[in-house]
Amino acid sequence: MSNTKVDVSIDGALAAITLSTASGVNVLSSTVLSRFSEALTKVRDTSGVRVLTIQAEGKVFIAGADIKEMADFSERQARTYGEHGQAVFNDLECMPCLTVASINGAALGGGLELALACDFRIAVKTAKLGLPETSLGLTPGWGGIGRLRRLIGPACAKKLFFSAMPISAEDGLPLGLVDDIVNSAEDLTSRVSVFCKSFRRGGPRAVALAKRAFMDGDDVGAFVECFGGDESKEGLAAFVEKRPASWME
């Protein structure tokens, strides 16, 4: 069973969930998925968080699901594990704050599925990204098939699914698999910090509503709901008065 730890830190508008293990290889067992879910709940329940970074210590971002745990699964156990991971990653995708996967090393299988559930992905250019499940006689089970298809299109997604071969983050950039790359792990933290600050213009509630509309397609519903709070009043007043809105200060 994986001994991967999941730690949460919150500093005002910025939150981070960090995965780590003594071996440097982070794995998503059922227990780790539960810990990750608890971490998401803590961030979601903390007011004022605007950006959540998912990061990992060690030589990989996340190596994937726990192979040892899955080795003797029955179909019933596989369903439980699959539905558990799906639910956790759906919660990640639906977080009201913006989410950024900070990828150093490999993000494979469930590791890439987790990253795909984030709004953005920034990676060291040599990081390996892939869904190698078919090489194990398996398929991705935590939403990665649909998310990857929507992100990079069916043709490119099929190549990753069916070949089971990873690609570098540098090769994934033009496909849209990652949003930005850096040269080394030392550059990753500062680049992610700059990237996160680029979203300070957007009102936190408006961003959360826009994220919801992006997923459910209800643009009008989100627009209407904006007028049920004070944020839109402040934003419109700031525009008329030619000053920054309060959330930008």
User: Cβ(39)–Cβ(99) under 8 Å?
Assistant: no
All residues at 6 or more sequence positions from 154 whose CB lies less than 8 Å from its CB, including other chains: none
Catalytic residue among 133, 225, 231, 249: 133
Is 25:63 a contact under the CB 8 Å cutoff? yes
Q: Out of 113, 186, 231, 234, which one is annotated catalytic? A: 113
- Full DSSP string of 211-237: HHHHHH--HHHHHHHHTTSHHHHHHHH
Tell me if 147 sits within 8 A of 117, measured CB to CB.
yes
Which residues lie below 8 Å from residue 73, measured CB to CB, with a gap of 6+? 81
93 a catalytic residue: no
Q: How far is CA 155 from the centre of its chain?
A: 23
Active site residue 241: no
**Catalytic residue annotation:** 113, 133
